[in-house]
């Protein structure tokens, strides 16, 4: 394929030529000529602009498009999306107009750029509400959201060149807004790297309270996002009440654990390691019984739609916290184990109302939380999850009966 004649001798021709090779390797059927032309236009529009790192600005949109090209978990990505990624800052940051973009690259590419620009402006409003921003992003076209996530990922990769206050703000935005979005789109690789980069920025840029070792218990409701809003709200309320009742029945009151943290479709509880044995031997069996009783007493005919089926993970490690909440690699590992596709599939196959994922370092002594440490009859399946390049092992425990 011949490159554009306009590229010959241009200062950015080597970058664009390398990008074309990457695109053709990752997506052999891509219209490399079209994408190369978008790079030529973007490079000319951004000529003379530099990033905080001192790199030519064109390196950013090319990096965003490269991230997108490597994603295998977003089926909607196409040539127009890659063009939009390359051009996503031109209309807002250069004299290039939306009319020119639409004329040269078509209405679909222009629409994606326009929506990405709108999301950028929404996030910069001083009185922005994270929940409102999250709702707006998740309601956007999947291709638009994918471009925005790739844009934020590259910005996080180069975060060290920004002022400290900006680093902290952007890291917290990732945890509050972009991780749930990436999870909803099943963009697990992007989610994992965003989470690692955000936590690293928080640890690097602010004085922290000393980390505390905690038993991490996270719970998620099966298929909660597909329920009507009133039903979803009822399920979340019941999950809080039933798990709190199970903890109290084992003598683990508010002073022996943190306040529950909302996870959207579930909750997070951090528990004093001294209560590990009670958690395993008393709380989980009681929780299983309470779930079974709740589901059995649901009214018909919509009782099935209101049933509680729950995935639970137990992990342990050092947890950081600041005024905005909890974070750290131990939490990342717990969530990745909980959200693994194998775990979700196992719950769909299970007859009971919940299953447990125990990590390989779930107890405070460092002993593996393996099949021999389950306090009730269960079947077991090994599982692994990766966080920041490290492998975490665990087991899926599917209770066959409660104690």
pLDDT of residue 46: 93
pLDDT of residue 399: 66
* Secondary structure (3-state) at 377: coil
pLDDT of residue 265: 78
Residue 134: Cβ within 10 Å count: 17
Residue range 295-317, pLDDT digits in tens: 988 876 566 668 899 999 999 89
Q: Reply yes or no: is the peptide bond before residue 285 cis, omega within 30 of 0.
A: no
Which sequence positions are flagged as catalytic?
Answer: 92-93
Alpha carbons 243 and 261: distance in angstroms, whole number: 13
Closest CA to 92 of 134, 151, 35: 151
Domain ranges of the chain: 5-205, 212-399
Q: What token pair was written down for 189?
A: 């690789």
pTM above 0.95, yes or no: no
Residue 279: DSSP 8-state: I
CATH architecture of 5-205: Orthogonal Bundle (1.10)
Burial (0-12, 13-18, 19+ Cβ within 10 Å), 290: buried
Residue 110: DSSP 8-state: H
Are domains 5-205 and 212-399 of this chain identical in fold?
no
pLDDT of residue 128: 57
Q: What token pair was written down for 297?
A: 């007493």
Alpha carbons 32 and 79: distance in angstroms, whole number: 8
Q: Does the structural domain 212-399 have CATH classification 2.40.50.1070?
A: no
Report in angstroms the alpha-carbon separations of 56 from 35, 44, 117.
Answer: 19, 11, 21
Residues listed for the chain: 403
pLDDT of residue 45: 94
* Secondary structure (3-state) at 12: coil
Tell me the pLDDT of the chain (403 aa) as tens digits. Answer: 333 334 444 566 677 778 878 888 888 888 988 988 999 999 999 999 999 988 899 999 999 999 988 887 666 788 999 999 999 999 999 999 999 999 999 999 999 999 999 888 776 655 455 566 667 777 778 899 999 999 999 999 999 998 888 898 899 888 888 888 887 777 878 888 898 899 888 878 766 678 889 999 999 998 766 666 777 788 888 999 999 999 999 999 888 898 898 877 789 999 998 888 888 889 988 999 999 999 988 876 566 668 899 999 999 898 988 767 888 888 888 988 888 888 888 888 888 888 889 887 654 444 444 444 544 445 678 888 877 678 888 888 876 644 3
Alpha carbons 195 and 329: distance in angstroms, whole number: 9
């Amino acid at each position: 394929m011949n490159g554009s004649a306009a590229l010959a001798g241009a200062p950015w021709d080597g970058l664009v030529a390398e990008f074309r090779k990457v695109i053709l390797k990752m997506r052999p059927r891509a219209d490399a000529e079209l994408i190369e032309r978008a790079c030529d236009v973007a490079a000319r529009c951004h000529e003379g602009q530099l990033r905080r790192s001192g790199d030519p600005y064109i390196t950013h949109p090319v990096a965003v498009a490269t991230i997108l090209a490597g994603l295998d978990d977003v089926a909607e990505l196409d040539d127009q999306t890659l063009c939009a990624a390359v051009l996503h800052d031109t209309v807002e940051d250069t004299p290039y107009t939306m009319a020119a973009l639409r004329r040269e690259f078509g209405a679909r590419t222009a629409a994606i750029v326009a929506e990405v620009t709108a999301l950028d402006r929404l996030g910069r409003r001083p009185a922005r509400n994270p929940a409102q921003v999250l709702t707006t992003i998740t309601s956007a076209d999947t291709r638009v959201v994918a471009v925005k996530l790739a844009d934020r990922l590259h910005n996080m990769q180069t975060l060290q060149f920004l002022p400290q206050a900006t680093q902290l703000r952007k890291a917290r935005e990732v945890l509050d807004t972009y991780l749930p979005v990436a999870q909803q789109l099943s963009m697990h690789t992007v989610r994992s790297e965003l989470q690692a980069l955000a936590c690293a920025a928080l640890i690097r840029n602010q004085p922290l309270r000393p980390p505390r070792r905690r038993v991490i218990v996270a719970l998620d409701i099966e298929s909660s996002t597909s329920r009507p809003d009133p039903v979803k709200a009822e399920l979340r309320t019941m999950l809080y009440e039933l798990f709190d009742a199970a903890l109290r029945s084992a003598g683990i009151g508010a002073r022996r654990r943190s306040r529950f943290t909302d996870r959207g479709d579930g909750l997070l509880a951090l528990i004093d390691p001294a209560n590990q044995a009670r958690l395993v031997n008393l709380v989980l069996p009681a929780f299983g019984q309470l779930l079974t009783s709740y589901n059995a007493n649901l009214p018909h005919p919509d009782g099935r739609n209101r049933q509680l089926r729950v995935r639970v993970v137990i992990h342990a490690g050092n947890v950081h916290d600041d005024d905005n909440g909890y974070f750290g690699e131990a939490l990342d590992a717990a969530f990745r184990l909980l959200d693994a596709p194998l775990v979700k599939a196992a719950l769909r196959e299970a007859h009971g109302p919940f299953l447990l994922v125990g990590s390989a370092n779930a107890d405070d002594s460092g002993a593996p939380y393996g099949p021999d440490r389950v306090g009730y009859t269960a079947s077991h399946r090994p599982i692994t999850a990766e966080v920041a390049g490290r492998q975490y092992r665990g087991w899926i425990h599917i209770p066959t009966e409660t104690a």
